[in-house]
Structure 1
Amino acid sequence: MNPIKPQTLDEGDVQQKVQNFAAEKLTGNQKQPKFPLIRPRIEVIEVEQQFNAIPFGQGYSGRIANPQDMFTFKRKITRVKDELKPLYNDALIEAYQNQREATEKRAGGRSSVQGGRSGQAAEGAIGEKYD
C-alpha cells in the first residue's frame, strides 16, 4: 500500500484523488470485493479546514463500500518549544520540603541517617563515616 504524501488539497482535488485511487485498485479479480473500501485520513490544522464528508460521500454511493464514513479527519497539533509551561522553582522547592516533612513525621522523628540512628554517625560500606 502506497500512502498519498501529505499535501494541501481543496474539495475538488479530493474528488479527483478518490476517483484515481479507486480506478487503480480495481483489478477485476474474482476474489476482489465488488466495491472498494476507501478511507483517506485528512490532517487539518484548524477545524475550519474540515468539510462535510457525508454529502461528499453520497456522490460515491453505489461505487464504493463506505460512502457514509469515507473520511477520517485528524487534527494536527503543532507545538512551539517556547509554549511549554515553565516550571516554577519556588513551587518545586516547597513541594519537596513538604514531602520531606511528611516523610520525617511518618518515620516518627527519626533521622534519615543510614540505619535510623539519631545523633550517631553511620558507617558506610567502605568505612567512611557520615554525620
Structure 2
Amino acid sequence: MPSSSDSSLETAIKGLRTTPPSRLPYQANVLVRSFFLERPAGNVVVYNSPGLTSAATHIRDLGGATRLLTNHSHEAMYGEPDLDVPVFVHERDRSETVRSMRVAGVFTSRQMIDDDLEVIPTPGHTPGTT
C-alpha cells in the first residue's frame, strides 16, 4: 500500500485521481485520502488529507485546482495543504475549520458548481457534513 510519502496521484477512473492513503491519526485502521477531479471548468480537490500535500507537485503539473471542497471540519486537523487552492466548507463547520485553515467560501445548501458537480449537505457526523 502506498503511504502519504509517495508523491504521485493514482488514477481511479478517467478524470478522477486519488492521493496516496494515510492513516487516520487516532484510528489506525482507517485510511483517508483526497480526490482530484479533472474538469473542463477547473479541477477540484475533494477532502483535505496528508496525501494532498505530498501530491502537490503532481497536482500543479495537472493544472492545479480551482477549489478544495472539504466534507467537514475535522479535515482541518491536517492544516492547509501545500497548494494555492481556495478552501470551501459548509457554513455550519466554518467556525471550527478556520482554526486551522483559511476558508475562502462557504455553502449553506445543496448547490451546483458549474453544470457537472453538485454539493449535497448531509449533516450528521458534524453540523455541516457534506
Report which of the two structures shows the higher radius of gyration computed on alpha carbons: 1
Bigger strand share = 2
Task: Give me the TM-score of the superposition, normalised by structure 1.
Answer: 0.23
Bigger relative contact order (CA 8 A; separation at least 6): 2
Bigger helix share = 1
Task: Give me the TM-score of the superposition, normalised by structure 2.
Answer: 0.24
